[in-house]
Structure 1
Amino acid sequence: MELTEEIQGFADEIKDLLSPNSTEDARMVQKGLMLYRQGLVSQLSFGKNTVTATVQDVTPVKVTLDLTFFTMSECSCPSEEWCRHQMAVFFAAYSQVGSVAEWVEAWREPMKEKMAAASWGLQTAKDLIKANGVLKPDYGRWVHSFEVSFDTLLQSKKSTSPYVIEELFKIYERQVRASAPVEKEWRLLYEMVGTVISFKKLAMLSERSEHSEEISKRTYGSVFEKLQDDAEELVEKIGMQSMPFDFDEFILKLKDDAFDLLTCVQRLEFERIYFYRLLWTNLFKKKDWREEEILKIHSRMKELQDWERPGPLMIAGVHLNFLLQKDDTALKLIQASGEDWTTPYILYWIDLLSSQKAWKRVGPVIELFIGRIKKYLDSLNGYHSCSSFTRTAIRAIAPYCGGNDRFDLFEKALMQTLPYSYSDYEYLLFERGMFDKWGELQAFVGLNFYDIPKDRVKLIEKEKPEVLLALLHQSAQREIDAKNRSSYKMAVRHLKKLRTIYKKVKRVDDWEYFIETLMERTKRLRAFHEECKRSKLVEG
């Protein structure tokens, strides 16, 4: 029983590792299968968490499969990656607990489904509603046609494989666009409605199908990204044209459908909020609409179930208050949440107000943001994520700080985001000639003295050499603490430079006191003392 579970788990790992869509992987599986079926796997042996065997290829090779740690599996052939010999031994081992043919068939299934999807989907699409382009625009009929087309193509099977969704969605999208109204202004609105409905339907399908977030992002995440890009392009085009009076009825109904974005599913939170804010910023501009929407949000918040996240509704409420220029209310709502996850959403409002040059309004938002950013960075995983967010944040607040002479606020942001903002902060301090703070920054980061660009050291040594003292002290001590001959040599280099600067700033007494104290403190480090004497840093 235990062996069966181990091999089955190993088989699942191979499925994840190898893609049926990859020509190289498909070829390797085929070659491994041939070696196994030709009886070229011999001396198959099962140990504790391992399988060993010999494969007779052009020359015989020895294979060891590690059932616990997949990456520890080995083959004596020249390949450093998973190879056909390991594949053949896997098939031989798997044959003891299950059907090899069935495993191969299951592995190939996503590719077969994807290939079949195009022809099957195109055939089905012939039966879809095509009347939208010739009949008078009707919101209800539009939505019905989108839903019928979507359900026909993407929900006709009881269990939809994530590997075919992108292919089927492309067919659905072509059908939707082929049925668009002829008039340009109505066509744009039709496509906007279609984008919102399609996003909701796909999000609900993804959640109902229980596709993991990792699988859904890898297999059809690009569809959600494209829908966002399409929506952004459409609101821009719609905004550039004069809208017919008849549009109001459609916008009102689209407004109601957009509200569903906040609660239709629990996942894709960032994408849903992005969509919602885009529409309310660019399409739903009437003051009374926005005030009514806030009341609607308050009402829905009271009805939330324990399992529902209030985040999207809360962010929507904040956004509408900003649009109504009720900034104090918006800021109080953010503060009342008291949660780190709201921090990245504040960047949107900073960008929005900055683009309008509403400097008096954006200042308090930036101050609130800076007060939260350090805690948010602490909650992120990984240096790359923190660095990426820091770059985005600095870019967002720069227009306000630069245009309103708020260097103090910009510097505060850089300090709050250290060490991820080091390069920006270092450049700013150096360019402004703030060498004391520049030196403190180097000491904080712990940069080795000889890693600092020579042109910077040369200029500071000329303008304010005492700034370099702390850096040299720190670097020398770090090398001494390493306690090996090469580090002692480097420490002596730092100390000689230190002596030069002490003389330059006329503090020879301080140098002599320091070196005397250092030699006393390190008297047990014989090798270090030898290096000091050899370099004539001290007398022998």
Structure 2
Amino acid sequence: MEETELLHAFSEELRELLNPNAVEDAKLVQKGLILYRQGLVQQVTIEDRTVTAVVQDVTPVKVLLDLDFAGLSECSCPTEGLCRHQLAVFFSAFSKVSSVSDWVSDWREPIREQKSAAGWGMQTAKDLIKANGVLQPDYGRWVHSFEVSFDTLLASKQHTSPYVIPELFGIYERRLHASAPVEQEWRLLYELVGIVVSFRKLAALSERLGHDEATVKRAYLHVFHNLMEDTEELAVKIGVQSLPFAFDEFIERLKDDAYALLTCASGLEYERIYLYRLLWVHFFKKKPWREEELLKIHAGLKGLQDWENPLPLMAAGVHLNLLVGDDERALELVGLFSAAEIAPYMVYWIDYLSGLKAWRRVGPVIELFLQKVKPYLEALAGYHSCAAFVRNALRAVAPYCAESDRLDVYERALLAMLPYSFGEYEYLLFERGQFDRWGELQAFVGLDFYELPKERLKAVEKEQPEVLLAMLHQTAQREIDQKNRASYRMAVRHLKKLRTLYKKLKRVDDWQYFLDTLMERTKRLRAFHEECRRSKLIEG
């Protein structure tokens, strides 16, 4: 990937991490901008997918930006996580390939546009409430009211900025609630229908306006996620009641609207499938309904055009087959997907079957998931996205492993999801006293000896000191390769620790052979040899 692409990808990751509506984040960006504009960022170097620089703040600090994983960026200041110095260095590097002012302006866009939309939206909503009043139970009237209100508030303009959609949708929701039936049971159903219709309309509007995935994520993806959370809560509340016969017609028509979630747009696949699954788990519970829906999905797949994406309908087919207990067919369908397509959906099904305590059923799903998770993580962009996915996946797999006494499956999951599962795997190996494998894991992720917790190192040195030898050799060599005085002094520090361990293991001859070989190999590095003599590692 070229330097320009790397910096643009890094800039997108920062957009995800920084919320323009959060006071602390706004201050952080402002402080970084001041440092950059005052010309305090110096010695900027972009190479090996990193940016290094020095920021002349009150005291000079060294900054390293990891362009692949923003979360691995470092600064020598005491601030934990993202700091003003890292922002300043980003602005300095980004200025070489694009406009910093445009980046900051785009990042701040939501605040400006939300304010301008609020006044117009509130007046329109008041007019709609006067026109509609409280709506009595009538599915057709409900849907018509939702659609008219939605189109008036959100879809009446030729071009709607993505940043005003959350504000306008909030006004639309308040208007929807104001017309809800008074009776509790009808109110709950009304709100559930409203969510399904609104979700479908918003997904279709997003596509019509040409908002790409990154734009939706930045501006209003949270609106879809809020609707998903509200759906789960409502469906559970309605599902525990015995449904009146008067609901039958509403449920039939709501099933059609739920099916439309799968076909209403080409984007927002994950969110549309998620909402569809929620409804069929918590609300449409009768087996005949589910079997009938499977036939509908099968017919829908047969009728798809070549250019239409079959994934939503196929994922729905997997889901319904699991609900009716046909696991063999469900797993057969999963096998037709690529890892990048199906892996994110499998975590939900593992959770669902675990919730039923159907341990025999969940095992094969986990096995198939472990075959697909590594390719999925390789295809998924961004360290934070991968780390969040792995946390959810491990949480889903853990109950089965505990209940079935299958720690081997959990360990295979940890291995498959490295490096994002490093923290959990490191803890597991250490607690089980598998220090040799613990050491191999540290070497795999490339951590230096003195980056590791001291209490861990003391315990390993006491129980299995030979594990630390390879780590110290590796760390010392890295320092020598830096070829500067400071790194030579660190290398000598590691070598002295190595000498102590070799003596403790009664392997003095091995130490001497290694040291002689090292001195011969580095004989041209006079500064390194001087540091070795100064510390009395070798004779003068």
Question: Which TM class, normalised by the smaller chain length?
Answer: 0.7 to 0.9
- Structure 2 matches for 1:104-115, cutoff 5 A? 112-115=116-119
- Structure 2 matches for 1:379-528, cutoff 5 A? 379-528=379-528
Q: Secondary structure of the equivalent of 1:433?
A: coil
Query: Is 144-153 or 189-198 further displaced after alignment?
Result: 144-153
What is the aligned counterpart of 1:121 among 125, 135, 141?
Answer: 125
Q: Distance in 2 between matches of 1:181 and 1:246?
A: 15
Q: Structure 2 counterpart of 1:294, which letter?
A: L
Q: Secondary structure of the equivalent of 1:262?
A: coil
Q: Structure 1 counterpart of 2:100, which letter?
A: T
1:103-142 deviation line (CA, Å, top 9, x unaligned): xxxx9988555422212331243112x3633xxx332333
- Structure 2 matches for 1:99-498, cutoff 5 A? 112-128=116-132, 130=133, 132-133=135-136, 137-157=137-157, 159-160=159-160, 162=162, 164-498=164-498
* Unmatched 5+ stretches in structure 2: 1-19, 27-94, 106-110
Displacement of 1:171 in angstroms is: 3.9
CA contact (8 A) 1:122 1:171 kept: no
* Unmatched 5+ stretches in structure 1: 1-18, 25-65, 74-80, 83-106
Q: Structure 2 counterpart of 1:434, which letter?
A: Q
Asked which structure has the greater RCO (Cα within 8 Å, sep 6+), the reply is: 2
Residues 1:435 and 1:279: Cα distance change in structure 2 (over 3 Å): same
CA contact (8 A) 1:125 1:153 kept: no
Displacement of 1:241 in angstroms is: 1.7
Q: Distance in 2 between matches of 1:491 and 1:406?
A: 43
Tell which structure's C-alpha radius of gyration is larger.
Answer: 1
Q: Secondary structure of the equivalent of 1:336?
A: coil
1:165-187 deviation line (CA, Å, top 9, x unaligned): 44443443333333333322222
Residues 1:315 and 1:68: Cα distance change in structure 2 (over 3 Å): closer
Q: Structure 2 counterpart of 1:249, which letter?
A: E
Q: Distance in 1 between matches of 2:118 and 2:389?
A: 37
Q: Distance in 2 between matches of 1:426 and 1:284?
A: 43
Query: Is 204-213 or 366-375 further displaced after alignment?
Result: 204-213
Q: Structure 1 counterpart of 2:177, which letter?
A: R
Q: Secondary structure of the equivalent of 2:307?
A: coil
Q: Structure 2 counterpart of 1:123, which letter?
A: D
Q: Structure 2 counterpart of 1:71, which letter?
A: V
Displacement of 1:527 in angstroms is: 2.5
Residues 1:155 and 1:471: Cα distance change in structure 2 (over 3 Å): closer
- Structure 2 matches for 1:59-98, cutoff 5 A? 69-71=98-100
Displacement of 1:349 in angstroms is: 0.5
Q: Distance in 2 between matches of 1:250 and 1:167?
A: 30
1:274-327 deviation line (CA, Å, top 9, x unaligned): 110000111111222212211211111122123321111011001011111211
Displacement of 1:400 in angstroms is: 1.7
Displacement of 1:196 in angstroms is: 0.9
Displacement of 1:485 in angstroms is: 2.3
Q: Distance in 1 between matches of 2:443 and 2:214?
A: 41
Q: Distance in 2 between matches of 1:439 and 1:416?
A: 18
CA contact (8 A) 2:125 2:175 kept: no
Q: Distance in 2 between matches of 1:451 and 1:163?
A: 42
Q: Distance in 2 between matches of 1:507 and 1:329?
A: 60
- 1:8 equivalent in structure 2: none
Residues 1:458 and 1:69: Cα distance change in structure 2 (over 3 Å): closer
Residues 1:264 and 1:494: Cα distance change in structure 2 (over 3 Å): same
Q: Secondary structure of the equivalent of 2:242?
A: coil
CA contact (8 A) 2:166 2:223 kept: yes
Q: Structure 2 counterpart of 1:127, which letter?
A: A
Displacement of 1:348 in angstroms is: 0.4
Displacement of 1:161 in angstroms is: 5.2
CA contact (8 A) 1:124 1:153 kept: no
Displacement of 1:474 in angstroms is: 1.0
CA contact (8 A) 2:387 2:421 kept: yes
Q: Distance in 2 between matches of 1:484 and 1:111?
A: 55
CA contact (8 A) 1:370 1:413 kept: yes
CA contact (8 A) 1:199 1:227 kept: yes
Q: Distance in 2 between matches of 1:108 and 1:478?
A: 49
Q: Distance in 2 between matches of 1:381 and 1:322?
A: 30
Q: Structure 2 counterpart of 1:132, which letter?
A: L
Displacement of 1:507 in angstroms is: 1.8
Q: Distance in 2 between matches of 1:313 and 1:509?
A: 68
Q: Distance in 1 between matches of 2:460 and 2:160?
A: 65
1:381-423 deviation line (CA, Å, top 9, x unaligned): 2222222222222222122222322221111111222222211
Q: Distance in 2 between matches of 1:173 and 1:427?
A: 46
Query: Is 262-271 or 382-391 further displaced after alignment?
Result: 382-391
1:232-289 deviation line (CA, Å, top 9, x unaligned): 1101111222212332332122111111110011122111111100001111112222
- 2:8 equivalent in structure 1: none
- 1:38 equivalent in structure 2: none
CA contact (8 A) 1:343 1:369 kept: yes
Q: Distance in 2 between matches of 1:223 and 1:490?
A: 51
Q: Distance in 2 between matches of 1:495 and 1:214?
A: 49
Residues 1:452 and 1:69: Cα distance change in structure 2 (over 3 Å): closer
Residues 1:331 and 1:477: Cα distance change in structure 2 (over 3 Å): same
Identical positions, percent:
63
When the two structures are aligned, how many residues end up with a matched partner? 443
CA contact (8 A) 2:339 2:375 kept: no
CA contact (8 A) 1:262 1:313 kept: yes
1:82-106 deviation line (CA, Å, top 9, x unaligned): 9xxxxxxxxxxxxxxxxxxxxxxxx
CA contact (8 A) 1:386 1:420 kept: yes
Q: Distance in 1 between matches of 2:520 and 2:265?
A: 69
Q: Distance in 2 between matches of 1:400 and 1:223?
A: 33
Q: Structure 1 counterpart of 2:126, which letter?
A: L
